[in-house]
A and B are shown apart, each in its own frame.
Chain A
Amino acid sequence: NAGVTQTPKFRVLKTGQSMTLLCAQDMNHEYMYWYRQDPGMGLRLIHYSVGEGTTAKGEVPDGYNVSRLKKQNFLLGLESAAPSQTSVYFCASSYGTSILETQYFGPGTRLLVL
C-alpha cells in the first residue's frame, strides 16, 4: 500500500504558467481534499471531493480548479500561476461518508511561483 502519493514533489513556475498537481490514493477512499499550507496559517482547504465525478469549493478556491474523474485520483490545476500561490500543497483522503473522519495526507508538493 502506497497510501496517498503526490506528483511532483517540487516545482518552479513563472507567473502566468499553468500546471497540474496529481494526487493518487490506493485505499479506496471516497473523500479527497486539496490543502495549501503557508507559514503561520495552518492548513487551508482549497477544494474537496466526496466521490468520483463530484467536487466542491473549500475555504480558498480562487485561482484553482480540480477534477475527480477516477475515484483514486484528484487533480489540482493552476491555470495562471501567481506568486501568491507559492506554498506547500497537501492532498489528503478519508474513508467514510463524512468529512469528520481521519484524513491521510500525501507527502506534499512544494510550489514556487516566480
Chain B
Amino acid sequence: GENVEQHPSTLSVQEGDSAVIKCTYSDSASNYFPWYKQELGKRPQLIIDIRSNVGEKKDQRIAVTLNKTAKHFSLHITETQPEDSAVYFCAAGSNYQLIWGAGTKLIIKP
C-alpha cells in the first residue's frame, strides 16, 4: 500500500541552530503535504502545508520544500527555540487518502 517514510525518528539540535526533517512518499498522485506538531500529551496541530503546484512555502521560522520528481518534502525550522520541542508528523494526501509519517521527536538542547 501507499506509505510515507519520515526521517530521522529523533533529532537533537542546539538551541538557535536549524532543524530539518525529511519525508518521502510513494503515491505519485499525492498533491497535499501538511506538517503537524504534537507537544507532549497534546493534540496534533497544523503548522504548515504545501500543495503540489508550489515548490516552497515559508511562515516565519518554518519552511517546507517539495520535490515532486523525487517524491520527497522537508520541514525546515530555523533559529530553534525551546518551544519547538515536540513530535512533528508529515503526511501526504490525494483524493480521500491522507497517509501519515511515523513522526520525528525534536529535542532542543539549551
Q: Which residues of A contact B97 (CB under 8 A)?
A: 99
Please measure, in the bound complex, the distance between the C-alpha atom of A99 and the C-alpha atom of B32, giving whole angstroms: 10
| A-B contacts, CB under 8 A, total | 48
**Is the CB–CB distance between A108 and B102 below 8 Å?**
no
Flag whether A100 is at the interface (Cβ < 8 A): yes
Give Cα A48 to B34, complex, Å: 18
Q: Which residues of A contact B101 (CB under 8 A)?
A: 42
The range of chain B's interface size is: 20 to 34
The yes or no answer to A18 lying at the interface (CB within 8 A) is no
Could you tell me if B89 and A42 are in contact, using CB atoms closer than 8 angstroms? yes
* Cβ 8 A contact of A102, one of B1, B31, B49: B49
Per the 8 Å Cβ criterion, residues 47-69 of A in contact with B are: 48, 50, 56, 59
Spell out B's residues near A (CB within 8 Å).
Answer: 1, 6, 9, 31-32, 34, 42-46, 49, 51, 89, 91, 93-103
